[in-house]
């Protein structure tokens, strides 16, 4: 797989929750941190996403906002 995005994080699917149209996918990084992604239900099924499957979380954004209290 080749992709232009530089931020690819190898992860493991922890949970997939299907809704009517979208699926919420929780993935766990090697250090234990979690990332949640909302994708279409069709895409989740086409990718064969299930608990324990290895995936890549690909982050492509032109801006990252930071905030402090």
Sequence spans of domains, the chain: 1-29
Q: Which whole number is the average pLDDT over 40-50?
A: 97
pLDDT of residue 19: 97
| pLDDT tens-place string over residues 7-29 | 899 999 999 999 999 999 999 99
pTM: 0.85
Q: Mean pLDDT across the stretch 30-35?
A: 96
- 51-54: long-range pairs with CB below 8 Å, 24+: 51/13, 51/14, 51/15, 51/16, 52/12, 52/13, 53/12, 53/13, 54/10, 54/11, 54/12, 54/13
Q: What percent of the chain has pLDDT over 90?
A: 72
Q: What is the overall mean pLDDT for the chain?
A: 93
């Amino acid at each position: 797989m080749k992709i232009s995005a530089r931020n690819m994080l190898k992860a493991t699917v922890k949970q997939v929750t299907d809704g009517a149209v979208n699926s919420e996918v929780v993935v766990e990084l090697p250090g234990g941190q979690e990332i949640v992604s909302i994708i279409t239900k069709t895409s989740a099924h086409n990718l064969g996403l299930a608990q324990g499957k290895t995936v890549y979380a690909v982050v492509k954004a032109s801006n990252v906002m930071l905030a402090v209290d």
